[in-house]
Amino acid sequence: MAGSSVEFDAQVRGFVYQWFVDTGAAPLREEVAHGLGVDVGRVAAAFDRLAAGRALVLQPESGEVLMAEPFSAVPTAFEVACGERRYWGNCIWDALGIPALLGLDAEVRTSCPDCGETLTLTVADGELMPASGVVHFALPVRRWWHDIVFT
């Protein structure tokens, strides 16, 4: 096998992120394997190493990608519209990170968890446009990885 696991893991991670950028969804292990021309078992092992290093969060049952922060593989309460493409953020922090990462204008749609009122934030030219509201983080940052899916 050519290359180190560190190099291969970087290729896998890059492939996962590019897939998210291009499609708004997470690739399956088989899609990554096909795209990189390698065995799916090698990709599964890379996913596990990347998850251990907190570079990916995997679905507990299937081992497929759940999060490649700031992207979520499943719909959440934080929809990000960048032009014609739609993404899901894992939290408001991640949702605002998507347009920053992509360098694109965006609308972030969510709702107030208290009253259910629709909230829309606009990012234009790299800046968050003025809006009313409060961002609330249920846990301090130091505790996010205790249960990153909940956080």
Spans of all domains in the chain? 5-68, 74-146
pLDDT of residue 126: 94
The CATH number of 74-146 is 3.15.10.60
Residue 139: the pLDDT is 80
- Lowest mean per-residue pLDDT among 48-52, 62-66, 106-110, 141-145: 141-145
Domains 5-68 and 74-146 share a fold: no
pTM above 0.85, yes or no: yes
Q: Could you read off the pLDDT of 4-36 as tens digits, one per residue?
A: 899 999 999 999 999 999 999 999 999 999 999
Look at residue 65 and tell me whether its pLDDT is greater than 60.
yes
CATH code for the structural domain at 5-68: 1.10.10.10
Alpha-carbon span 21 to 119, nearest angstrom: 24
Task: Using DSSP, state whether 126 is helix, strand or coil.
Answer: coil
Kindly list the distances between the CA atom of residue 43 and the CA atoms of 4, 89, 131, in Å, as whole numbers in the listed order. Answer: 13, 24, 42
